[in-house]
């Protein structure tokens, strides 16, 4: 039995008749397994579009807003489909397309304590344009990756360590572990460092104005992406992760505003 097959067998042994894998609901059926979006768990199968395993890649590549999904663990998998597979091997193939590397990583996280890297170790190995991210302070890194890996942007359970930032909990994310920064986190670390190096501009705001700014950022961070907007475009000032980063920074620096009651 291959390593991944063994991991799949172990995952099945520990899962019940129906279980979620990030945004996918997997259920045992008399002929194998049925996969669908968790949101469609109670939807009659006849109302769902039937996808073959070979069609899952195209489905997973496109977000609700029509843009490419660079991060398969982002909570923007389209609903409205189901896919039947006959056995554990086909199930592993389907999950590998929907969440690449997830079953193997799940197994590694359980059997190899210490498999998750640390922010310093990972960024310390970077060269070229990413070398600048090595200069992130621990406080900057905690803000950056708290924003970048927030469950509203990614359903993987971040286990790689950042000083001052607790690892994700399974209940808030999913059973799929993240053992090292992905390409988006790497770029977001670089972008955060570059933003932090820009000249500061002073802006005097009253408490009510600051509260309005925080409220606007909170709304912007959770708003659905506009048609065609790409979540991986971190150079865009209107990228949701950048809204989240600024929001978290202001919450840290303006605690009096965060705690203030609404105006009378």
Min separation Cβ 181 and ligand SF4, Å = 5
Instruction: Compare residues 33 and 122 and give the one whose CB is closer to ligand SF4.
Output: 122
Instruction: Compare residues 56 and 179 and give the one whose CB is closer to ligand SF4.
Output: 179
Instruction: Compare residues 87 and 138 and give the one whose CB is closer to ligand SF4.
Output: 138
Min separation Cβ 137 and ligand SF4, Å = 19
The 3 state secondary structure assigned to the chain is: CCHHHHHHHHHHHHCCCEEEECCEEEEEECCEEEEEEHHHCCCCHHHCEECCHHHHHHHHHECCCCCECCCCCCCCCCCCEEEEECCHHHHHHHHHHHCCCHHHHHHHHHHCCCCCCEHHHHHHCCCHHHHHHHHCCHHHHHHHHHHHCCCCCCCCEECCEECCECCCCHHHCCCCEECCCCHHHHHHHHHHHHHHHCCCCCCCCCHHHHHHHHHHHHHHHHCCCCCCCCCCCCCCCCCHHHHHHHHHHHHHHCHHHHHCCCCC
Instruction: Compare residues 158 and 191 and give the one whose CB is closer to ligand SF4.
Output: 158
Instruction: Compare residues 85 and 187 and give the one whose CB is closer to ligand SF4.
Output: 187
- Binding stretches for ligand SF4 (CB under 6 A): 73, 148-149, 154, 156, 158, 178, 181-182, 184-185
Min separation Cβ 184 and ligand SF4, Å = 5
Min separation Cβ 173 and ligand SF4, Å = 8
C-alpha 135/C-alpha 132 separation (Å) is 6
Instruction: Compare residues 22 and 257 and give the one whose CB is closer to ligand SF4.
Output: 22
Residues 6+ apart with CB under 8 A from 177: 105, 106, 108, 109, 116, 156, 157, 159
Min separation Cβ 176 and ligand SF4, Å = 9
Min separation Cβ 3 and ligand SF4, Å = 21
Min separation Cβ 102 and ligand SF4, Å = 10
């Amino acid at each position: 039995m291959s390593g991944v097959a063994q991991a799949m067998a172990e995952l099945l042994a520990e899962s019940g008749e129906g279980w979620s894998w990030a945004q996918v609901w997997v259920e045992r059926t008399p002929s194998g397994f049925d996969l669908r979006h968790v949101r469609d768990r109670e939807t009659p199968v006849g109302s769902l579009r039937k996808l073959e395993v070979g069609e899952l890649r195209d489905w997973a590549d496109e977000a609700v807003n029509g843009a490419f999904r660079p991060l398969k663990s982002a909570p923007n998998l389209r609903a409205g489909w189901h896919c039947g597979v006959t056995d554990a091997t086909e199930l592993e193939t389907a999950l590998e397309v929907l969440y690449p590397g997830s079953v193997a990583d799940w197994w590694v996280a359980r059997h190899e304590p210490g498999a998750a890297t640390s922010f310093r170790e990972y960024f310390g190995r970077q060269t070229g344009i990413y070398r600048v991210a090595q200069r992130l302070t621990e406080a900057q890194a905690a803000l950056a990756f708290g924003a970048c890996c927030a469950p509203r942007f990614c359903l993987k359970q971040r286990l790689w360590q950042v000083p001052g930032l607790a690892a994700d909990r399974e209940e808030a994310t999913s059973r799929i572990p993240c053992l090292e920064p992905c390409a988006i986190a790497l770029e977001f670390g670089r972008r955060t460092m570059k933003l932090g190096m820009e000249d500061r501009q002073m802006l005097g705001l009253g408490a009510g104005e600051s509260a309005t700014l925080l409220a606007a950022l909170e709304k912007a961070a959770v708003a659905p992406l506009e048609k065609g907007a790409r979540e991986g475009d971190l150079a865009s000032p209107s990228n949701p992760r950048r809204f989240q980063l600024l929001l978290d920074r202001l919450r840290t620096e303006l605690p009096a505003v965060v705690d203030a009651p609404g105006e009378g």
